[in-house]
Structure 1
Amino acid sequence: MASDPARSELDLVAAALQRLRPGLDDGVAARLRGADWSAGRVEEGGQFHRVLVLEDVGVLRMTRVHEAGAAPAARWTPERDPAVHLPRRLALLDGLAAVLAEAGVRWSLPTALSAVVEDGPGAAVLQRYVPGFPHPPHEGDPAVLRGVLADLAAVDVADPRVAPHLGRPFTFRGPWTPERAAHVAGLPARLAPRLGAWPGDALGHAGDETAAGEAAVRLRADAWGESVTALTGVVSAWTREPPVPPALVHGDLAGHNMRWRVVPAAATPDAEVPDAPVRWELAGVLDWDLACAWDPALNVAYLGLWHGEDLVEAIAADPAEARRARVWLGAMALETLDDAGARDVLVGGLAESSWRRLLRKTLPRVGRALAAAAA
């Protein structure tokens, strides 16, 4: 959802333009000050921020005063307030930009162009515009995606330019508490009046001795609670006692957060040839709000969600990382079910068709995760 900028948003741009960062290139500063910001578009999709985007010029990032979808009178808790975290997140971008440049990485980050300006209970900042557009979903070149993962792996999360500014694991939805796990475990009973048989009951039979078959059995209603407890317990244990050294994890490495450009795969004699081969090249990565030092298999999982879960084994560093990515994908599926359960209560009941569609997508992912955890 996008809209024209309001007067108050243009006033924030004007305030930020008066506080451009020292040492900013004169040409960049002149372009920012001379641009018609009223021609930009305000995009509302972010959980923590709204952005006024002026293509090829810059972006004004504005913190939300409450969570998207919350009641107008609601306010962030201090530990989640994006205005409080904005200076830290901007410092992280500066540190990452320096480290990645030293490593020869060519894609860009939305680093700050101005100081932070206050906006009542919120805050705003001008940032670099990162060109490009999202990669088409459900496809991708494994070699290119492995290169993105290698770029992230090259960052030393103990580097003093990075370490103090990273967030904590489970920042977005919080850790898996017994209460959250119990909420997801109770879904078969709560949905039975609307769905009848739990869809997981049709996915496997007790006589199947394969790992996948055992996982399918554990998706049945009578074993679902045990499966939820097992899966959430595994990822919680991995976070307390990491199975591999923690590495840089973006936190949402997919979709609109990755900006791509299309370049010719090879020179062709006729530029008008239809369906000429092309190569997707990463131009930049946005939205580092959830970046932290965690299991690098999470980056594999995020890329798998967007580009296709069938690519997980092809882009992971090794089979062990691929198995952990499968487990994380299952835990993400449980988070999706937890969110849907909360919305179900809020709106007085999601449609039966919505639940069936969601369960068809998430239950197989949970089953694959259980099989991977048992391997």
Structure 2
Amino acid sequence: MVSPPAPSELELVHRALQHLRPGLDPALARRLRTADWAAASVEEGGQFHRVLVLEDVGVLRMTRAHEVGAAPAARWAPERDPAAHLPRRLALLDGLASALAERDVSWAVPVALSDPVSAGPGAAVLQRFLPGGPYPPHEGDPDVLRGVLDDLAAVDVTDPRIAPHLGRPFAFRGPWTPARARHVAALPGAVAARLGAWEGHDVDARLGAEAWPDAVAALTDAVTTWTAAPPVPPSLVHGDLAGHNMRWRAVPEDEDPRAPLRWALAGVLDWDLACAWGPALNVAYLALWHGEQKVPDLARDAAEARRARVWLGAMAMETLDDAAARDAIVGGLAAGSWRRLLRKTLPRVARALTALDG
């Protein structure tokens, strides 16, 4: 959802403008201070923050007081409060920007232009505007996307400018605890009560009601084991690498106005969940947007492709777990919503089991 800025949000902009970072380019500082911020728009999509965007000028990032969908009076648990994590995340962006520049990487990250300022129970900060938009779904060029994966893999996660500021694996929804796995394992009964039947067996015999708990255990145990005892050295994992977090620009192949266009990455947003983890996760995130059929072309080798498919299956189970939690909170998702979700996730789980067996 996009809306015009409220007076309180414009006040936050003006407060942040009083705290621009020392050493900021004078021309950029002048542009920020003289811009018409009332012409900006507020985008609500982020899980941890909202953003006020002034095209080609800057972005005000405002942390949320509570998780999307929570009661208005709710507040983050201290360990998840985005305002508390904001200084660390901004320091990570500084470290990444330096490391990427040293390697002449062509895309950017949204470094801070100001120091954070308080915003009620949260915080706000001005950040660099990154132009472009999302790549059209399912149309990504595997060679171009593989180049982005190589850029990420080349970042040294032990670099002292980066390592202290990375998050932890499983930071978004937490690890696969036994209780959480049992909750997902019980889905066939809960869904059958809503829809009249659990149709997992129609997708794959390994997804029938009796076999489903074994499928849950297989995938969740695999990703938990890989996290505790990595099969390959951990590398930089973005945490949500796709969609609107990747800003692409269509540029002509050459100076001829009739030349075909190619997509060039301008920048990557939203590093809140970045950590040192299995590189197959970045492949899996890209596959969610660009198509799972591209996994073999995106992965470095067949083993990474198999791990990416297993991660996709675990992500599908996480989606089902989230849906079941929402179902309990709001009093029941529509039956049609459940059926669409199952049609999307169950085949992914089946492919993950095949990859794990391979």
* Normalised-by-shorter TM-score class: over 0.9
User: C-alpha offsets along residues 302-348 of structure 1, whole Å, 9 cap, x if unaligned?
Assistant: 00000111000001111110000000000000000001101111121
**1:195 deviation in Å?**
2.2
Give the 3-state SS of the residue equivalent to 2:131 in structure 1.
coil
The CA distance in 1 between the partners of 2:209 and 2:271, in whole Å, is: 38
**1:266 deviation in Å?**
4.4
Aligned residues: 358
> Do structure 1's residue 133 and structure 2's residue 125 form an aligned pair?
no
**1:265 deviation in Å?**
3.0
> Do structure 1's residue 258 and structure 2's residue 246 form an aligned pair?
yes
> Do structure 1's residue 177 and structure 2's residue 160 form an aligned pair?
no
Look up the equivalent residue of 1:34 and give its one-letter code: T
The CA distance in 1 between the partners of 2:67 and 2:189, in whole Å, is: 30
The CA distance in 2 between the partners of 1:150 and 1:63, in whole Å, is: 31
- In the other structure, the counterpart of 2:114 is 114
> Do structure 1's residue 299 and structure 2's residue 293 form an aligned pair?
no
- % identical aligned pairs: 73
Structure 2 length as normaliser, TM-score? 0.98
- In the other structure, the counterpart of 1:314 is 297
- In the other structure, the counterpart of 1:213 is none
The CA distance in 1 between the partners of 2:182 and 2:14, in whole Å, is: 49
- In the other structure, the counterpart of 1:283 is 266
- In the other structure, the counterpart of 1:84 is 84
> Do structure 1's residue 186 and structure 2's residue 186 form an aligned pair?
yes
Residue number among 309, 329, 335 corresponding to 1:326 in the alignment: 309
Give the 3-state SS of the residue equivalent to 1:222 in structure 2.
coil
- In the other structure, the counterpart of 1:339 is 322
Look up the equivalent residue of 1:221 and give its one-letter code: A
**1:230 deviation in Å?**
1.2
The CA distance in 2 between the partners of 1:349 and 1:225, in whole Å, is: 23
The CA distance in 2 between the partners of 1:140 and 1:191, in whole Å, is: 35
The CA distance in 1 between the partners of 2:183 and 2:335, in whole Å, is: 19
Which range moved further: 156-165 or 276-285?
276-285
**1:196 deviation in Å?**
2.6
- In the other structure, the counterpart of 1:365 is 348
> Do structure 1's residue 164 and structure 2's residue 164 form an aligned pair?
yes
The CA distance in 1 between the partners of 2:346 and 2:130, in whole Å, is: 36
Give the 3-state SS of the residue equivalent to 2:80 in structure 1.
coil
The CA distance in 1 between the partners of 2:155 and 2:128, in whole Å, is: 21
> Do structure 1's residue 217 and structure 2's residue 205 form an aligned pair?
yes
- In the other structure, the counterpart of 1:232 is 220
The CA distance in 2 between the partners of 1:319 and 1:334, in whole Å, is: 23
The CA distance in 1 between the partners of 2:202 and 2:254, in whole Å, is: 49
**1:351 deviation in Å?**
1.4
The CA distance in 2 between the partners of 1:139 and 1:302, in whole Å, is: 15
Structure 1 segments, 4+ long, off by >4 Å, are: none
- In the other structure, the counterpart of 1:210 is none
The CA distance in 2 between the partners of 1:266 and 1:223, in whole Å, is: 56
Q: Which runs of 5+ in 1 are unaligned?
A: 204-215
- In the other structure, the counterpart of 1:93 is 93
